[in-house]
Amino acid sequence: MPLNAFHVKIAGLTFGAHFTEGFALGWLSDRLGRQKIFLLSFLIITAAAFVQFYVRSPLELCVLRVLIGFGMGGDFAVGHAILAEFSPRWLHGKGRVADAKAIVHKYFGANVTLDGGHDEHAQSAGSFMRLFQKDLIRRTIFNCAFFVCLVIPYFAIYTFLPIILKAIHLNNDSTADFLLNGFLVLGALIGIWLTIKLPRRTFLIGSFAVTCASLIALSLLPESAAFGMIAAFALFTLTMSVFSNLVGVFPPECFPTEVRACGVGLAIACSRLGSAIGTFLLPLGIAHFGFHITMMVLAAVLLVGMIVSIAWAPETKHLTLNEASGA
């Protein structure tokens, strides 16, 4: 089925719905607990996705896509927090030390303990404004900015991949799909290894630099240089997949336990707003300004992400979660 204005609006609507619920469910999980809100997110996604089979009008589909976006926003926000801390840390922070120790003992053994770092805020309820206090505001802005600059070109390009493939003279067939998916899988595996090996700042800043250079090459190469354009796009795809691993690592490490899900949720909410904007504007940009200028604009977005990362990204590698979050 060919893409049309309705498809663009539906995609943007789904991404845009992440903005509200990513923050809202993240905030609730800091207060009510990770497990309950994580389960609620999946219930919302499952129910809304199932009901889509029975829609009778575009309006009904739009409402359900908003609900799916709500659920996915909560899933991302709470899921990343759980992966970073696993829920015993939240229990420990709420004073339920015995419950936290029991879970650690059950799943990890008696020789594993929670780190002994002291978080003076852990016993208090998380507040949204806590993210904008002096000790956290720079981290809050950094996480929102780097996430937005990463996802704008990511979702813009891959949502309208057939348009991009046509522009670089690559047929949109099973061979192209196989190659691109291969690069994405390979990039994810390389990204796991680099996350372990490289300092966070080096990994993030270097990845922004490579993806930015790739899109600059796409914008400057003439249409006759088909091989060069394909190589540049392949490098962009591989590197984008590589450093997408950091979105599940960096934000949770930057916030203390009592506002971790809230902070991650805000970063994800802002990124999904960026996704919606990119999804709406990329086809319009190509139609009105051409492929090359549009790629240069997306390269500029990645350059902004690199500059913000150079200025404000903390180094969290080799630190405990309490130390990394400044608790």
- Can you give 2-65 as a three-state secondary structure string? CCCHHHHHHHHHHHHHHHHHHHHHHHHHHHHCHHHHHHHHHHHHHHHHHHHHHCCCHHHHHHHH
pLDDT digits (tens, 9 = 90+) for 26-69: 666 666 667 777 788 888 888 988 998 888 887 787 788 778 77
Average pLDDT in the chain: 80
pLDDT digits (tens, 9 = 90+) for 162-179: 888 888 877 666 677 788
Q: Are 23 and 262 in contact (CB under 8 A)?
A: yes
pLDDT at 115: 62
Task: Please give the torsion angle defined by the CA atoms of residues 90, 91, 94 and 96, in that order, rounded to the nearest 10 degrees.
Answer: -160
Residues 117-134, mean pLDDT to the nearest whole number? 66
**Range in 108-122, 131-145, 155-169 with the lowest mean pLDDT:** 108-122
User: What span, in angstroms and rounded, lies between the C-alpha atoms of 230 and 224?
Assistant: 11
Residue 10 has pLDDT above 60, yes or no: no
What does each C-alpha distance from 238 to 188, 284, 314 come to in angstroms? Answer: 8, 26, 25
User: What span, in angstroms and rounded, lies between the C-alpha atoms of 284 and 280?
Assistant: 7
User: What span, in angstroms and rounded, lies between the C-alpha atoms of 69 and 33?
Assistant: 21
| Residue that has been written with the tokens 């899933």 in this structure | 75
Residue 85 has pLDDT above 70, yes or no: no
Cα-only R_g, the chain: 21
C-alpha 234, offset from chain centre = 21
More confident residue, 11 or 302: 302
What does each C-alpha distance from 270 to 267, 277, 286 come to in angstroms? Answer: 5, 11, 24
pLDDT at 173: 64
Q: Which pair of structure tokens corresponds to residue 146? A: 């780097």
CA angle 242, 248, 253 (to 5 degrees): 120
In CATH terms, 5-324 corresponds, of 3.30.530.20, 1.10.150.110, 1.20.1250.20, 1.20.1740.10, to 1.20.1250.20
Residues 75-85, mean pLDDT to the nearest whole number? 65
Q: Are 270 and 20 in contact (CB under 8 A)?
A: no
| Residue that has been written with the tokens 């609900």 in this structure | 67
- For residue 108, how many other CB atoms are within 10 A of its CB? 12
User: What span, in angstroms and rounded, lies between the C-alpha atoms of 222 and 295?
Assistant: 13
pLDDT class of 1 with cuts at 50, 70, 90 = very low
Residues 296-306, mean pLDDT to the nearest whole number? 96
pLDDT class of 16 with cuts at 50, 70, 90 = very low
CA angle 117, 122, 126 (to 5 degrees): 145
More confident residue, 18 or 271: 271
